[in-house]
């Protein structure tokens, strides 16, 4: 009872720092303590939490129990022949990269930050710059150990209780608690990428470039200008590449090709005023960012941290949006719904709600997980400071996206309605049936699940 009784009420938010709620936060030191917490839960249920990088309320449980699993982060084994690792759910991608790169192994999927736990990566079925060729994180999980509501631990995978496995992948922690997982890593020769950079003059130019030759690249992403309008609407900087081989490195790097380097993390100041990011300041930033990028550059060698995780160099960068926080809004629009994508970009660009962290890329085929976000199409993400009127704008975009057969990303969401969710995720009833079969009393719950009546 030690860890459970020592838990204290804590105010928790997502990375967007909106809609804070209070829960009892406990840091277990063993799987037995996790099981004990599930058995002795309150009426408000229990939820696992990692590094808190979901943007909305997915890792909050108002009035209930939240288990911080980051202390359980052991790497149990590495098979050098197959690349399969056995690792605790609390281990971060940062720790895995630092441990495994010297062995010639890299995570098969990484989002824009290394500060994500394995359990969180599975629960959100994270995607990266390589979804169009390698899918999302769940595609690379061979099996996982799931603590269920009845206290049992089930080992599940694509070939063992596949329905429960795929409902856990992308299931936002609501089918049980992932304790550890076996994941196939990706062999690499170096800790570097070969990167091509080019500028696109507008959204049409950008989409044409992506559609024409994205298949030639392992990784692909575009920053686009969400303030520009008219003929410059959606102008962008497109960066694409692949993992470098040792022979592709300059001679000075070949002596230690697998050395991982990352800039020392600086901390953002604790206080930024509301309104610091406005159309004028972001307009200046976007102009400078676009102009400093080369019109075309081929074959540049970048470190893994440069190419994948530039924001990790600044700790707590989410403070830049001010005390009201921000909303990251990410959707996927199916191929064939390009007019809906354009309409959304036009609406955002002409609105008073501005964003400077804006990403557009293409998804490939999805996996069997009912609540997994990626599906074939165009995915767009924007960060908008929380401000009056933002909710109405996003509600409008929700309807357009749902009408086009698209969906929002649950790991980024903080304000979608249950009705919109049902329109966007047609397999929701299938997921609910499996979830309730293993947790009929709703032991595992969150602010997100209550908001969306999951």
pLDDT, averaged per 10 consecutive residues of the chain (454 residues), comes to 68 96 96 94 93 97 97 97 98 98 98 97 98 98 97 97 98 98 98 97 97 96 92 95 98 96 71 65 74 91 96 87 92 98 96 90 98 98 94 98 98 97 98 98 97 96
Strand pairing of 219-224 and 192-200?
Answer: unpaired
Do residues 306 and 204 share a domain?
Answer: yes
- At residue 281, the pLDDT reads 74
Domain end call among 188, 219, 235: 188
- In this structure, the chain runs to a length of 454
Do residues 343 and 309 share a domain?
Answer: yes
Domain that holds residue 205: 192-416
- At residue 275, the pLDDT reads 61
In a domain, 66, yes or no: no
Instruction: Read off the pTM.
Output: 0.95
In a domain, 421, yes or no: no
- At residue 1, the pLDDT reads 44
Do residues 278 and 348 share a domain?
Answer: yes
Measured on CA atoms in the order 432, 447, 330, 129, is the torsion positive or negative? negative
In a domain, 5, yes or no: no
Do residues 161 and 83 share a domain?
Answer: yes
Do residues 221 and 110 share a domain?
Answer: no
Do residues 249 and 182 share a domain?
Answer: no
Do residues 104 and 217 share a domain?
Answer: no
Domain end call among 188, 218, 237: 188
Map residue 374 onto helix, strand or coil: coil
d(CA 275, CA 381): 21
Q: What is the CATH number of the domain that holds 147?
A: 3.30.465.10
DSSP 339-353: HHHHHHHHHHHHSS-
Domains contained in the chain, number:
2
In the block, residue with structure tokens 């924001």: 311
In a domain, 23, yes or no: no
Q: Alpha helix (H) ranges present in 360-409?
A: 390-403
CB contact set of 151 (below 8 Å; sequence gap of 6+): 35, 38, 39
Q: What is the CATH number of the domain that holds 373?
A: 3.40.462
- At residue 349, the pLDDT reads 93
Domain end call among 188, 204, 223: 188
Do residues 181 and 200 share a domain?
Answer: no
Do residues 172 and 223 share a domain?
Answer: no
Do residues 183 and 314 share a domain?
Answer: no
Do residues 360 and 385 share a domain?
Answer: yes
């Amino acid at each position: 009872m030690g860890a459970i009784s020592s838990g204290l009420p804590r105010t928790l938010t997502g990375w967007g720092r909106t809609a804070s709620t209070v829960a009892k936060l406990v840091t277990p030191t063993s799987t037995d303590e996790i099981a004990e917490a599930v058995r002795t839960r309150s009426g408000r249920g229990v939820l696992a939490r990692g590094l808190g990088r979901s943007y909305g309320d997915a890792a909050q449980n108002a009035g209930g129990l939240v288990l911080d699993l980051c202390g359980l982060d052991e790497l149990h084994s590495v098979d050098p022949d197959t690349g399969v690792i056995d690792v605790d759910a609390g281990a971060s991608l940062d720790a895995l990269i630092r441990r495994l790169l010297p062995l010639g192994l890299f995570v098969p999927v990484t989002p824009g930050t290394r500060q994500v736990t394995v359990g969180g990566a599975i629960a959100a079925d994270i995607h990266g710059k390589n979804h169009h060729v390698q899918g999302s994180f769940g595609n690379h999980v061979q099996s996982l150990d799931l603590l269920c509501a009845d206290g049992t631990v089930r080992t599940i995978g694509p070939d063992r209780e596949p329905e429960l496995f795929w409902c856990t992948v992308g299931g936002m922690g609501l089918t049980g608690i992932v304790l550890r997982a076996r994941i196939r890593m990706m062999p690499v020769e170096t800790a570097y990428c070969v990167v091509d950079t080019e500028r696109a003059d507008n959204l049409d130019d950008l989409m044409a470039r992506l559609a024409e030759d994205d298949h030639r690249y392992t990784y692909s992403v575009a920053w686009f200008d969400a303030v520009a309008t008219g003929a410059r609407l959606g102008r962008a900087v497109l960066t694409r590449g692949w993992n470098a081989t040792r022979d592709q490195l300059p001679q000075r790097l070949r002596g230690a090709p697998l050395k991982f380097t990352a800039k020392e993390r600086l901390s953002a100041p604790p206080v930024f005023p509301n309104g610091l990011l406005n159309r004028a300041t972001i307009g200046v930033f976007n102009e400078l960012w676009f102009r400093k990028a080369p019109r075309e550059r081929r074959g540049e060698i970048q470190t893994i941290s440069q190419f994948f995780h530039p924001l990790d160099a600044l700790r707590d960068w989410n403070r830049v949006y001010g005390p009201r926080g921000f909303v990251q809004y990410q959707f996927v629009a199916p191929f064939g719904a390009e007019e809906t994508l354009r309409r959304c970009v036009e609406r955002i660009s002409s609105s008073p709600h501005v964003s400077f962290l804006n990403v557009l890329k293409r998804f490939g085929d999805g996996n069997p997980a009912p609540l997994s976000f990626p599906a074939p199409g165009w995915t767009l993400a924007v960060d908008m400071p929380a401000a009056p009127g933002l909710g109405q704008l996003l509600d409008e975009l929700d309807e357009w996206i749902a009408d086009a057969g698209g969906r929002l990303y649950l790991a980024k969401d903080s304000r979608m309605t249950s009705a919109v969710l049902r329109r966007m995720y047609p397999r929701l009833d299938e997921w609910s049936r499996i979830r309730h079969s293993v947790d009929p009393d709703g032991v595992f719950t969150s602010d997100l699940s209550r908001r969306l009546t999951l």
